[in-house]
Amino acid sequence: MMKMMSLDNDIELLAPQVHENLAVIPLKTQRTYIDMLTLKKGLELGLVEVKECETSQVNTVIVKNHAVAPLILIDGEEIIGGDQNRIINSTILLEANSEMAVPVSCTEKGRWAYKSEFKQSEYMANYNTRKAKRYAEKTSQHTQDVIWSSINQLEVENSFASPTSAMEESYENLKSTHESIIHEFEVESEQNGVLIILNGEIQGFEIFLNPEIYREFHKKILKSYIIDSKIENNTFAVNVDEAKDIISKTFTSSYEKRENLGLEEIFEFENDDGIGTVYAYQNKIIHMSYFQKLKKEIEDEIDEGISLESDT
């Protein structure tokens, strides 16, 4: 175990933004200049390809980076098409002019047939799915089953059923509602992260290398929390000091280094408040995610390998 004090962890909390019972605190760190390409830009420029394996596999796709800069793939971001939609299992920094068999998880259980070339989705895995996935990985449970169960629960809670159990379609079903809420939260100058609060309770936070990458994920991250939340006309006082304390604790927690797949270094931690992962490169945070501690009854289900699906 180790401490994370060697990383640049100077995080500034900007003025909170509040809409009904949802609040966000924009986060800002010192600007870092490291040349890297996102999946969105790579696909748009024709510098990145995402393909099924020669013999298709549910939990692996081939990513080819033809650019002269590393490619960053973000944990939880979704690709749609291929034989079924997937999410990236872990943030990876893929070196320039290389290809990799990338671990993924299925987010469309009911389809196994070619649909189209892969493209980037407008969405990422919903908050509850990402959190359940992280706990399943920690306890060495079958992550794919946990993800399928979580997506099923998402449909149950939103009274919606996709013909192929596609997470993307749950988002599309609520798109107009989400857009009206997202409109209330502006991206601040130099913002490269966000902390989410619901009903006065901190749910999690996310930090990216720089503001340019964050802007690509701003709406996706907010939607990933909103889709799992009941937005109501309630108000609460935003406790910025508590938010500062939560973030501070993450950097004084004990970290465990995990095996990396690309150029990134991976450090995982857990404390009394939650669980998180730091992805670093050249001693800088390129991505960090933190989730509120899983409710005990759900953690017990994951520990025991029990489906997260309700009996209904």
In tens digits, what is the pLDDT along the chain, a chain of 312 residues?
A: 555 545 556 899 999 999 999 999 999 998 888 999 999 999 999 999 999 999 999 999 999 999 999 999 999 999 999 999 999 999 999 999 999 999 999 999 999 999 999 999 999 999 999 999 999 988 877 899 999 999 999 999 999 999 999 999 999 999 999 999 999 999 999 999 999 999 999 999 999 999 999 999 999 999 999 999 999 998 889 999 999 999 999 988 999 999 999 999 999 999 999 999 999 999 899 999 999 997 654 555 545 554 444 333
Residue 215 in any domain: the answer is: yes
Residue 6 in any domain: the answer is: no
Q: How many CB atoms within 10 Å of residue 110? A: 12
Residue 2 in any domain: the answer is: no
pLDDT number for residue 297: 44
Residue 158 in any domain: the answer is: yes
Q: Report the number of secondary-structure helices (H) and strands (E) in the chain.
A: 8, 18
pLDDT number for residue 33: 87
Distance from C-alpha of 209 to C-alpha of 231, rounded to nearest angstrom = 30
Distance from C-alpha of 141 to C-alpha of 145, rounded to nearest angstrom = 9
The answer to whether the CB of 48 falls within 8 A of the CB of 71 is yes
Residue 310 in any domain: the answer is: no
Distance from C-alpha of 259 to C-alpha of 57, rounded to nearest angstrom = 22
- Residue (of 162, 89, 72) closest to 129 by Cα position: 89
Burial 61-83, CB ≥16 within 10 A → b, else e: bbbbbebebbbbbbbbbbbbbbb
Q: Which domain holds residue 204?
A: 11-302
Distance from C-alpha of 49 to C-alpha of 195, rounded to nearest angstrom = 32
Tokens of 185: 């939260």
What is the bridge-based pairing of β-strands 71-73 and 37-38?
A: parallel
Residue 5 in any domain: the answer is: no
Classified as helix, coil or strand, 252 is: helix
Residue 262 in any domain: the answer is: yes
| Domain count within the chain | 1
The answer to whether the CB of 187 falls within 8 A of the CB of 27 is no
Residue 31 in any domain: the answer is: yes
Distance from C-alpha of 195 to C-alpha of 225, rounded to nearest angstrom = 11
Distance from C-alpha of 42 to C-alpha of 59, rounded to nearest angstrom = 22
